[in-house]
Structure 1
Amino acid sequence: MTLPFPHPPPPQPTAGPLLGRVLRQTLDACRQDIAAFRKAPGGVRDKPSVHGGREPVTDLDLTLQDRLTAVLARAYPGTAVIAEEGLAAIPQLPDDCLLVDPLDGTAALLAGSSEFAIAVCLVRRGLPAEGVIDLPAYGTRITAAPGLLHVTGDLTRLPLHAPDTLLTSPRHADTARTLLSGTGWSPQPVATASVKMSLVALGRAPAAIYLPKPGGGAAPWDYPAAALALAAAGGTVHDTAGRDLARTRPARLDGWLATLDRPHAALTALLRPPTPADR
């Protein structure tokens, strides 16, 4: 199938970055856990979000986190493993650490959507160094490092969006549609940051955005692995300050824009930080 965008993934190296090889068998086991949960869902409860408010958590989230953190602790002794579950606030990140989002998109999974992922990023000297994004529902796995992109799975299983599509958070879709009226862009809701960015990196959509949100709309484990994949595919993802997130210390973000080609002015304008009147 010919992709409608200008930068399909580059040729695959014979072996992906080390992090992907370390996690390969564990991610396979995580896929089995997810498949079992989808057939017979376990208990669901609320937890405090690091952004305030509440969000769902399941026993599956904790099982995946335990699997991932155990193998990472063995493979990277002395490197801090910072995983989402159990955190009430975003901690100070050391220069060298592993960021783990065991299930990016718990709410999407519970709703029966395929828009969920497992994301892990190795941070060295404060910057993203290697990343893994697993998309279990699509059978696709991405591993990335600066200049390296390794993808396994059948990409035709992934949704293919039109060249005028802008992927956005479901709760932002109506706002984006209003703001982009007359520009030719068509917002399409996709639930999670790592899925949106991965679809752009793999040439399945031209752009994705998280509209600026006062107080932070993305945690440091939400996006850096996918940002590395985008950079390796020839694209970019920037925050509201214009920083390239594949080359910036992971942190809480107000918003971001991911593109596989040079950003269109209408999309760049959406990253304008909110003014007091907007709030």
Structure 2
Amino acid sequence: MPLPDQPPPQPVAGTLLGRVLRQTLDACRQDIAAFRKAPGAARDKLSVHGGREPVTDLDLALQDRITNVLARAFPKTPVIAEEGLAAIPRLPDDCLLVDPLDGTAALLAGSSEFAVAVCLVRSGIPAEGVIDLPAYDIRISTAPGLLHVTGDLTRLPLHGPGALLTSPRHADTARTLLSGTRWSPQPVATASVKMSLVALGRAPAAAYLPQPGGGAAPWDYPAAALAIAAAGGTVHDTAGRDLARSRPARLDGWLATRDQPDAALAALLSPPTPADR
């Protein structure tokens, strides 16, 4: 399906990574659907940022499914997946980054704002990505210059021309910072979902505001950053790095836009003031 104001996706069946994961992600969708009907218990884990966040047996099962397939398909490429890590490891130049369930808390709360995200990194740079949005039956396969989408985009929420998607806990701060501008912050829970909505023309911008104790891990965003770049948009961090063309790393904040960001949006990546702390 052509994206709004964008050339049609290339007439190929996605990326190699997308083809490798197609059946596995179909099975993951079934696991997620079963969990949504009968949610399992959640327990707290220590995140790589030092806080606490929920994890379920579903997270672990999805991770096992995905990493086993990737290990067979890419036997010489290390697979680095979120669950089980106490800290962000040093990433090799070539690796596969896996977020088996970006948005566990959202899923547990009954929200549709969760995703499965996988990125193939070559020579330190994102090379291919897959983002699956199971609640919407949307799947994105992407690489530089390629955006292949399956599913009905009209199933996705459509945000207005002044919408800025941001994390729910950052929404009030964003409203204060953007007061008097054309931008209206809208809470959306997870990085992959926020960026995917921008890439697919369902929102004009998204941001993760720099906040003490916050941050994005290297498996959270590179696949979706590739999708935004392929759609003609940009995503940058607080240092101005283009995240579709930079080594994945822990981030303090990021800004994704379909068009060149204006001054009000660019200012969101400034370090927080004492009042924000």
Please say whether Structure 1 and Structure 2 have the same fold, judged by a TM-score greater than 0.5.
yes
Please state whether the residue corresponding to 2:79 is helix, strand or coil: strand
The residue that corresponds to 2:8 in the other structure is 10
The equivalent position to 2:75 in structure 1, one of 74, 77, 84, is 77
Deviation at 1:214?
A: 3.7
Please state whether the residue corresponding to 1:171 is helix, strand or coil: helix
Please state whether the residue corresponding to 1:247 is helix, strand or coil: coil
What CA distance in whole angstroms lies between the structure 2 residues aligned with 1:2 and 1:16? 14
The residue that corresponds to 1:231 in the other structure is 229
Deviation at 1:78?
A: 1.5
Alignment of 1:44-193 (within 5 A): 44-193=42-191
| Deviations 1:141-164 (CA, angstroms, capped at 9, x unpaired) | 001000111000000000000000
Please state whether the residue corresponding to 2:40 is helix, strand or coil: coil
Q: In the alignment, residue 63 of structure 1 is paired with which amino acid?
A: A
Please state whether the residue corresponding to 1:212 is helix, strand or coil: coil
What CA distance in whole angstroms lies between the structure 1 residues aligned with 2:274 and 2:240? 20
Q: Which moved more, 1:18-27 or 1:38-47?
A: 38-47
Aligned-residue sequence identity (percent) comes to 87
Deviation at 1:277?
A: 6.8
Q: In the alignment, residue 109 of structure 2 is paired with which amino acid?
A: A
Counting matched residue pairs gives 277
Q: In the alignment, residue 242 of structure 1 is paired with which amino acid?
A: G
User: Is the 2:9–2:146 contact (alpha carbons within 8 Å) kept by the matching residues of 1?
Assistant: no
Q: In the alignment, residue 100 of structure 2 is paired with which amino acid?
A: P
The residue that corresponds to 2:193 in the other structure is 195
Please state whether the residue corresponding to 1:121 is helix, strand or coil: strand
Q: Does 1:23 align with 2:21?
A: yes
What CA distance in whole angstroms lies between the structure 1 residues aligned with 2:82 and 2:226? 19
Alignment of 1:248-267 (within 5 A): 248-267=246-265
What CA distance in whole angstroms lies between the structure 2 residues aligned with 1:248 and 1:275? 27
Unaligned 5+ runs, structure 1: none
Residues 25, 9 of structure 1: CA spacing in aligned structure 2 closer, same or farther, 3 A cutoff?
farther
Deviation at 1:215?
A: 5.1
Please state whether the residue corresponding to 2:269 is helix, strand or coil: coil
Please state whether the residue corresponding to 1:246 is helix, strand or coil: coil
What CA distance in whole angstroms lies between the structure 1 residues aligned with 2:67 and 2:174? 37
Residues 165, 23 of structure 1: CA spacing in aligned structure 2 closer, same or farther, 3 A cutoff?
same
Question: Which TM-score applies when normalising by structure 1?
Answer: 0.96
Q: In the alignment, residue 184 of structure 1 is paired with which amino acid?
A: R
What CA distance in whole angstroms lies between the structure 2 residues aligned with 1:216 and 1:95? 25
